[in-house]
């Protein structure tokens, strides 16, 4: 004998079903938000977009490089400083390498830890474990409790697919750096540089079937010999880019930039200090009522890669100029 169904019971069951569905949906949203706040990338494969722009001579996109990360708000060359510039939308993280007593590559600009940590002494005289006893300092010299000197591996793991890495002061460790990038599967996302002659660099690169991106650093002054620059620019395969450093923006600099562009290389300029860019530096731009007076002469060289100490400010400036579109 069939039991009749009460319409009120059906209504209650439907309400309960909708309630449970809403709870499940809310839990899913919370879970996704939790993931995005942990170690998930801001934009997966963002690094590949930047690499493509670096390899495209016709690209008008200006690549922004953060000098030692967001060192104004966090200790330089630290994981929080790297994470911060990734969130800003920076394209390349510039970092510096040193090797510890037990052959661990760590992020540190100076030969000693005096300026950047609460400790004292040469990096090479400490094991990695010993370095972890010290806290990193912020730019104004105050220790940041709990923030330690990271290894290159830790930094690369944080950067993978999210931001390109520029290894400075690291060419002496080329073999060790390449071994780590190969293991992590991100060799194509790392750029290394030096002021070494082309023949020496080509001999090193020939040892491996795959290499990191490479860029020569050239200092240009009235007295400088342009042999290093011409050795690369006149090669059958010119480099991806030239880092041009100059105390005065003169015709010699303009000629070098023009030649670099003619051979389909890019021009990299450091606006971090006036002595590296003819005094057209970030602080002057930041303090100026018209940043065009500072940045325009640099861009007019054909510069498409800028290393900066004010990444947020520079990105906003370039966006207004329409130079941040892939």
Report the distance separating Cα 152 and Cα 92, nearest Å: 15
Catalytic residue, chosen from 49, 55, 109, 153, is: 109
Residue 284: enclosing H or E segment and its boundaries? helix 282-287
Nearest to 243 by CA among 205, 221, 270, 212: 270
Catalytic residue, chosen from 67, 162, 193, 266, is: 67
Q: Which residues contact 227 (CB under 8 A, 6 or more apart)?
A: none
Nearest to 299 by CA among 276, 326, 263, 323: 323
Verify whether residue 140 is a known catalytic residue: no
Strands 164-168 and 303-308: unpaired
Nearest to 172 by CA among 99, 104, 270, 68: 99
Residue 290: which region, alpha, beta or left (left: phi > 0; alpha: psi -120 to 50)? beta
Nearest to 89 by CA among 113, 63, 109: 63
Active site residues: 67, 109
């Amino acid at each position: 004998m069939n039991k009749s169904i009460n319409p009120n019971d059906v209504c209650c069951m439907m309400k309960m079903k909708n309630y449970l569905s809403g709870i499940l949906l809310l839990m899913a949203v919370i879970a996704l938000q939790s993931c995005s706040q942990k170690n998930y990338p801001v934009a997966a494969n963002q690094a590949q977009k930047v690499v493509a722009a670096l390899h495209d001579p016709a690209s008008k996109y200006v690549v922004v490089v953060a000098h030692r990360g967001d060192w104004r708000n966090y200790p330089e060359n630290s994981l929080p400083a790297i994470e911060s510039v990734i969130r800003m939308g920076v394209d390349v993280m510039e970092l510096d390498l040193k090797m510890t007593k037990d052959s661990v590559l760590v992020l540190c600009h100076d030969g000693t830890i005096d300026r950047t940590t609460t400790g004292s002494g040469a990096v090479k005289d400490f094991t990695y474990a010993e370095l972890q006893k010290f806290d990193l300092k912020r730019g104004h010299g105050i220790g940041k409790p709990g923030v330690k000197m990271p290894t290159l591996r830790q930094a690369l793991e944080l950067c993978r697919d999210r931001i390109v890495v520029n290894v400075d002061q690291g060419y002496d460790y080329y073999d060790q750096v390449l071994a780590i990038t190969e293991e992590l599967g991100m060799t194509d996302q790392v750029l290394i540089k030096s002021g070494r002659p082309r023949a020496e660099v080509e001999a090193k690169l020939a040892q491996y079937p795959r290499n990191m991106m490479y860029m020569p650093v050239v200092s240009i002054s009235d007295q400088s010999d342009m042999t290093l620059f011409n050795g690369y620019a006149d090669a059958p395969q010119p480099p991806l880019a030239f880092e041009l450093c100059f105390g005065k923006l003169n015709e010699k600099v303009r000629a070098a930039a023009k030649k670099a562009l003619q051979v389909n290389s890019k021009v990299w300029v450091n606006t971090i200090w006036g002595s590296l860019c003819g005094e057209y530096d970030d602080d002057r731009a930041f303090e100026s009522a018209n940043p065009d007076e500072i940045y325009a002469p640099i861009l007019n060289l054909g510069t498409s890669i800028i290393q900066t100490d004010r990444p947020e400010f520079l990105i906003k400036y370039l966006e207004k100029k329409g130079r941040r579109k892939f």
